[in-house]
Amino acid sequence: MTLKDYAALIDARLAELLPEAEKKIPDTDEIPWLLENAMRYSVMAGGKRLRPAMLLACADMLGVNRAEALLDACALEMIHTYSLIHDDLPGMDNDTLRRGRPTNHVVFGEGQAILAGDGLLSYAMELMLQNAMAYPEHSARHILAMNDIMAGAGVGGMVGGQCMDLYCEREHISDERLLSYIHVNKTSRMLTSPLRAAAALAGFAPDSPETTALTVYGVKFGLLFQAVDDILDVVGDEKTLGKSIGKDAEEGKLTYVTLYGLEGACKRADALAAEARDSLAIFGDRAAFFVKLLDDMTHRVA
C-alpha cells in the first residue's frame, strides 16, 4: 500500500468519528455542535496523514491486525491536528493559513480554537482507551502503545520541544544543542511514536532490536522532516505548501538554515536520510514503504 492508500483509510474513519454536526442544544455526554465542527474543520482539512499512515504501515510490516491499529492511528492524527491548531494561535506562531485555508482561530475565534485543540487531545485518549478495552487479550500491548503515543506528544516530547522553541525565539538564543532538543522533541517524537506503538501492538518489547531500529529511523526521519521544512521556508512556494513562508527568519526562529546556512542544511538533510535508511536493514524488503518515504521526504516540495 502507498501513503495515499493509508490516508484514504484514515480519512474514512476520521469522517465517521467526527461527522458534521447540526446546530442544537447537546444532550448530556454529547459533543456540542460548535466544538465538533471546529474539531472536524481542522482534522478534515486534508494533509498527508503521515503519522497515522506510518503507524498502519509499520503494523502491516510487523503482522499486526490492521483493524486493531486503525483507531490508534486516527487518535494520533487528532493529536497532531490539535498541535497544529494551537501552534497557529496568535500566542504561538500566529499563522492565518494552514493546509491552504484559514486557520482554526480565524474561522472560529481564539477561544473555540483552543477548545477544539483540547477536545481533539482528550478525544484521542478516549478512543485509544476504548480500542484497548475492545482487545482485552492484548491489553498490555495497547497500554505500551498508548504510552509511546502520549509520551511523544507530552511534556517530555512535542510540548517540551514547542516550549523551548518559543523560548529560543523570544530570547533570541542560537545554540546547536537547543536546536537538537527542539527538533528531536517537537518533530521527531511524533514521528517515532507511531512506529514504537506499532511495535508494541506487535508484541515487541521497548528495548527489542526491532523497536530500537524503528526508534532510530523515526528520530532520523523526523530530523530530516524538520530540515526539509526549514529549507522550504526559505525556498518553497507558499501556494504549493499551503502555508505562509519566510516566517522563520521574520520571527527569529532557531532552524537548520539559521545555524548551518542553506547549503549546510541541505547537506545535513542528505546525511539524515542515509542514516535513516541504514537503520531499516533489520527488516529487509519488508521496509520498502519506509525507504520510499525517505526518498519522497528528501525531494518533497509541500
* pLDDT band (50, 70, 90) for residue 148: very high
| Nearest-angstrom CA–CA distance, 130 and 163 | 30
pLDDT band at 234 (very low <50, low <70, confident <90, very high): confident
Q: Is 286 strand, coil or helix?
A: helix
Mean pLDDT, the chain, integer: 92
pLDDT tens, residue by residue, 70-114: 999 999 999 999 999 999 999 998 899 888 899 999 999 999 999
The rounded percent of the chain whose pLDDT value lies above 70 is 94
The pLDDT, as a whole number, for residue 199 is 98
Q: Could you report the per-residue pLDDT of 153-205, keeping only the tens digit for each?
A: 999 999 999 999 899 888 888 788 888 899 899 999 999 999 999 999 999 99
CA triple 142-146-148, angle to 5 deg: 120
What Å distances lie between residue 202 and 60, 120, 218, CA to CA?
Answer: 10, 26, 17
| Residues 238, 242: Cα–Cα separation, whole Å | 6
The pLDDT of residue 236 is above 80: no
Cα dihedral angle (245, 247, 249, 253), rounded to 10 degrees? -130
Q: pTM for this structure?
A: 0.91
* φ and ψ of 50, to 5 deg: -60, -50
The answer to which of 52-61, 156-165, 234-243 has the lowest mean pLDDT is 234-243
Q: Output the CA–CA distances (angstroms, integers) from residue 94 to 106, 116, 294, 297, in the order listed.
A: 10, 17, 30, 26
- Can you tell me the distance from the alpha carbon of 97 to that of 95, in angstroms, rounded to the nearest whole number? 6
In contact, 159 and 153? CB cutoff 8 Å:
yes
Averaged pLDDT, 239-253: 61
Q: Which residues contact 117 (CB under 8 A, 6 or more apart)?
A: 82, 83, 85, 86, 104
pLDDT of 251 reads 62
More confident residue, 232 or 240: 232
> Residue 70 to residues 2, 7, 53, 99, 288: CA-CA distances in angstroms?
16, 11, 9, 23, 21
Closest among 255, 250, 118, 125 to 182, alpha carbons compared: 255
CA proximity to 45, closest of 115, 125, 106: 106
What mean pLDDT comes out for the span 270-275? Answer: 93
Looking at residue 259, what is its pLDDT? 83
Task: Say if residue 243's pLDDT is above 60.
Answer: no
Position 237 scores a pLDDT of 61
Across 131-181, the runs of DSSP E, i.e. the strands, are none
260 pLDDT exceeds 90? no
DSSP string, 44-99: TS----HHHHHHHHHHHHHT--HHHHHHHHHHHHHHHHHHHHHHTSTTTT--SEET
Q: Range with the lowest mean pLDDT among 22-26, 29-33, 141-145?
A: 22-26
pLDDT for position 154:
97
